[in-house]
Amino acid sequence: MRRPLPVLRLRLPRIERKPKPVYAGQWADFAGIGKRRALQDELLDIIESIERGDGVPEAHYRAGIDRDRDGLLEERGIMHLHLGGKDSDVLVFLVQYPDRVVLLETNSHVHFRTQPAGKNIVALSQAWLANLEHEMAEAAERARVAGAVAERREAEAKRAKLAASIADFKRKARLT
């Protein structure tokens, strides 16, 4: 059996504008938004917007999104969004996949002050994300195999039907 293809984290600067379910991974609220109703509401609005396929409102992206690079996103596939405006130090860290978005934690810009950037969030979430990505790859492989099996069965059924039709024609034409 072929090994499943790796599940790729998208490294796009913005959330895709297509409906995706949002999951809370090993969720941790280090920024304390659980005590701040307005920030909770913003996060819920973001989640609902992603699930509807509307992407994320521009106010939640970083200020230099179109001008400079985000090393954590480029190197690790971990994106961050701002709660409370572009200049806020309250961030939501997440990973975007082709078919889902996984929330990791709320925090400050602390992950950008480590060398390499994001060292701590990667250490905290890497094993969990690796397991998730392995499960996603296995599910994709099972779906591929199931699709191949279904296609093979369909082709065999068509061949059998065609063979029966040819046999019927030969019988009627007295060729056998």
| pLDDT of res. 27 | 86
Q: How many domains does the chain have?
A: 1
Q: What SS3 class is residue 105?
A: strand
| pLDDT of res. 46 | 96
Read off the pTM: 0.71
Whether the bond between 13 and the residue before it is cis, its omega within 30 degrees of 0, is no
Is the backbone of residue 174 left (phi > 0), alpha (psi -120 to 50) or beta?
left
**Average pLDDT per consecutive 10 residues, the chain (176 residues; last block may be shorter):** 65 96 88 94 96 95 89 88 90 93 90 74 68 73 78 78 69 70
| pLDDT of res. 176 | 62
Give the rounded distance of the alpha carbon of 34 from its chain centre: 25
Helices (H), 33-118: 37-52, 71-76
| pLDDT of res. 73 | 87
Residue 172 CA to residue 167 CA, distance in Å, equals 9
- Domain of residue 148: give its range: 1-176
| pLDDT of res. 146 | 80
Give the rounded distance of the alpha carbon of 96 from its chain centre: 4
Identity of the residue numbered 168 = D
| pLDDT of res. 144 | 80
Q: What SS3 class is residue 82?
A: strand
Residue 85 CA to residue 154 CA, distance in Å, equals 54
Q: What SS3 class is residue 17?
A: coil
